[in-house]
Amino acid sequence: MKTVISVKTDPATKAQAQAVAKTIGIPLSTLINAYLRELAASQSVTFSMQPRLKRAVAASLRRINDDIEAGRNLSPEFNNTEEMVAYLNRL
């Protein structure tokens, strides 16, 4: 026997969740049931979202990566701290 749970959510959240479920080919109700089973078994709640960088940080990282790939703005490799200090003092 099955029971029905009525959950209120905003329309945008529902639409986004349905889109994700459709993309991975699993009905939203199946995902919700899996979460409820996990909650009951673990007796804990875990929230996780992929972190997103701010646009400015992402742009800086792209520039840095471009510099690395092009061999620009890189310090040489040092064998000891004295070499490093001497290099920095020349700048």
73: left (phi over 0), alpha (psi -120 to 50) or beta: left
- DSSP, collapsed to helix, strand or coil, labels residue 57 as helix
Give the chain's end-to-end CA distance (angstroms, integer).
Answer: 76
Q: Tell me, what's the pLDDT at 4?
A: 92
Q: What is the mean pLDDT of the chain?
A: 92
- pTM of whole model > 0.75? no
Cβ 28 vs Cβ 18: under 8 Å: yes
Q: Sorting pLDDT into bands at 50, 70 and 90, what band is 6?
A: very high
Instruction: Please compute the mean of the pLDDT values over residues 52-78 and round it to a whole number.
Output: 92
Cβ 28 vs Cβ 21: under 8 Å: yes
Instruction: Please compute the mean of the pLDDT values over residues 17-39 and round it to a whole number.
Output: 94
Q: Which residues of 40-78 are buried (b: 16+ CB within 10 A; e: fewer)?
A: eeeeeeeeeeeeeeeeeeeeeeeeeeeeeeeeeeeeeee
